[in-house]
Structure 1
């Protein structure tokens, strides 16, 4: 039976197009199926959404020819300061301070606005002769046989591929149709997301301020602007989000502090309920999961998109190497290598973010004292501090070639 495409990717957010570009660069034919109409998620102006891309994610974007399109709009993260305290009281005297100068590779990462990254991905996909983009379509059925998988779209069209990759988010219908179950729970927290303009320069420093209801991340953007990811209890977040912009800023200011001068909103405000969602398996016959389809974690360390990019880099390497050996890259043997590579790392990340959130999102006096002393110890020991810096840059672990700056 003939194939319409080598690999079908379900999901047109960020992970789907990035995976398509990486695969297409190796000579594979790829089809991306996105339920959203073409251009539906692109905003004309800045909408406040942005991503912290680790150094290794930047390397991957360089490897698939995308970084040049967003580099001029990216803000390097040169330092990270982690503090603990309560709103309006200022930070604890114990803190962690990480400086990119302590590693040889360069900035720990870059902040990139959603509008720039998404637009660059879609333009690169449109320019590729090896990628077909199907917008405004949903997959309603997937049927696997010995040599491939046939997808049925809502329009009735059939699409046959050697492999289907689910990049369709935490409620992945691809995973559900494959019978893959999930473990997870809600945190009772909601992230308030926005961007602010401020009077003073941020000097490329990212701040993470842990408060009893949840952490506040202040992440540097280009110019005198910063991205805000502010976690509150679900009840407080709903109340705060319903406020006017002026009232919203009045609540934010005691948490933000005055170290960057006066602040004002720059772009829209969003809220996202926070939860953990971990797929029991990352593969099924002729199916692989990447990104949030496989693992959705707390944004406490800003690693969600970076973990998805690691999935992409690893899966591409598995597929390309299998193809070069003359193997069937959609068969169970090849997909098992992908799961073995990524499953432990993703489960460890989910456990770490869950544990950090539980450790820091409380006001127990003894726990506060222990974690403050712990932060002081980490910051005082160069070897331990360097380990944390390398972790923030994504440099630890078994890295795929694309994340080591090597070609596929």
Structure 2
């Protein structure tokens, strides 16, 4: 977008990445300050981005934020509350899987600690809200390079215009190109695992119960969807996951049934199956002058705790609050002093969650009888301690630590 004299238009914030996190930030910023000039850049047309067959776990704090942004009211009818969660630990060949830990599903009366939401429902609602608020879109548009100046940053799009902004926010995923261009190093390693994501139909109702089965190859999560359907996050060694995804439907469903069990009756694959490599990637810095990371660009963690997207929503709530507060005080939103407040708020929490998920994955993704005995004792102990269970539910719901206003359901 250029002015009549050919110069690039100046924005306050340019967000590279039009996924859930990037769009949520655009909506939050425009709601907080309607005069703020905001643009979103994404390599794909927006209508392709929200054709996503997967589903996501939305923690209670995130649903409060989406309610405050006016999104949840539009999509709540498509959400499935998680009313209960059980955790088992066994070998694949075991005939019985004893339940070691159960969680009630409410943080407060009438508020489940999480919902399952189809991605194809959430994306269009966020996009429409952003468009209605006046967010500019450059999609398709590939963020090629950027240069930082004293009072602005210049973002060059491949084959397109140069955009200027007071602040550039990278929400371009775990393989963030902009993070690398900014010279931000990461702590990372590969788990040698892949997560198979699929949706299944089953004969009997799930009654809103989520299940996490710890098996030697990794966790096998069954997450309830509306109707007699569930979303699977199935962890296997990468070579086995690739074999299963390539297998014919009969073979895949046979292996699925061995892990899923028969408690919900006959199973049927509902839609495509895909495998995604799993690893840990944490940015050493979340900010540079006139540059900030959010979402998977800042942190990619194992899905064992189902907190990946919710960490991104925490980033959104914290960064939006910091930037809007700075605007009201007449401060430069791209200055390092302002952005450092966001970094202090989010970096430790993110590293802590990364360490927790890493330890859990290493502890549970193995076939050691000794480790199984230790962890099963620990799970049983937690199950008999209501105070500790409540703390875990609070963490899963997104209410642990200093909570930004949006995650508490308050306006900025």
TM-score (norm 2): 0.95
The answer to whether residue 237 in structure 2 is matched with residue 226 in structure 1 is no
CA contact (8 A) 2:218 2:235 kept: yes
Could you tell which deviates more after superposition, 358-367 or 91-100?
91-100
Distance change in 2, residues 1:235/1:2 (3 Å) = closer
Please name the residue that 2:24 is paired with: 18
Please name the residue that 2:55 is paired with: 50
Corresponding residue SS for 1:306: helix
Distance change in 2, residues 1:93/1:382 (3 Å) = same
Measure, in 2, the Cα distance between the counterparts of 1:94 and 1:57: 28
Displacement of 1:195 in angstroms is 0.6
Deviations 1:158-207 (A, max 9, x none): 11111000000111111111111111011000111101111111111110
The answer to whether residue 256 in structure 2 is matched with residue 252 in structure 1 is yes
Measure, in 1, the Cα distance between the counterparts of 2:15 and 2:88: 41
Displacement of 1:3 in angstroms is 5.6
Deviations 1:186-239 (A, max 9, x none): 100011110111111111111000000010000000001000000001111111
| 2:351 pairs with one of 325, 347, 350 | 347
CA contact (8 A) 2:193 2:236 kept: yes
Please name the residue that 2:129 is paired with: 124
CA contact (8 A) 1:6 1:163 kept: yes
CA contact (8 A) 1:103 1:386 kept: no
Please name the residue that 1:365 is paired with: 369
Please name the residue that 1:217 is paired with: 221
Hey, which bits of structure 1, 4+ residues long, moved more than 6 A?
Answer: none
Q: How does 1:8-407 map to 2 (within 5 A)?
A: 8-26=14-32, 27=34, 28-43=36-51, 48-90=53-95, 92-93=97-98, 95-101=100-106, 103-104=108-109, 106-129=111-134, 131-407=135-411
Measure, in 2, the Cα distance between the counterparts of 1:254 and 1:221: 21
Measure, in 2, the Cα distance between the counterparts of 1:94 and 1:218: 14
Measure, in 2, the Cα distance between the counterparts of 1:156 and 1:51: 33
CA contact (8 A) 2:20 2:123 kept: yes
Displacement of 1:122 in angstroms is 1.7
Could you tell which deviates more after superposition, 63-72 or 90-99?
90-99
Deviations 1:5-55 (A, max 9, x none): 110000112111111011111222210001112312333xxx641000000
Measure, in 1, the Cα distance between the counterparts of 2:255 and 2:48: 32
TM-score (norm 1): 0.96
CA contact (8 A) 2:27 2:69 kept: yes
Measure, in 2, the Cα distance between the counterparts of 1:105 and 1:337: 34
Distance change in 2, residues 1:262/1:205 (3 Å) = same
Displacement of 1:94 in angstroms is 5.0
Structure 2 alignment gaps of length 5 or more: 1-6
Displacement of 1:396 in angstroms is 1.1
Aligned residue pairs total 404
Measure, in 1, the Cα distance between the counterparts of 2:245 and 2:98: 31
Measure, in 2, the Cα distance between the counterparts of 1:112 and 1:69: 12
Corresponding residue SS for 1:292: helix
Q: CA RMSD in A?
A: 1.5
Structure 1 alignment gaps of length 5 or more: none
Could you tell which deviates more after superposition, 195-204 or 92-101?
92-101
Displacement of 1:105 in angstroms is 6.5
Measure, in 1, the Cα distance between the counterparts of 2:95 and 2:123: 37
Could you tell which deviates more after superposition, 238-247 or 309-318?
238-247
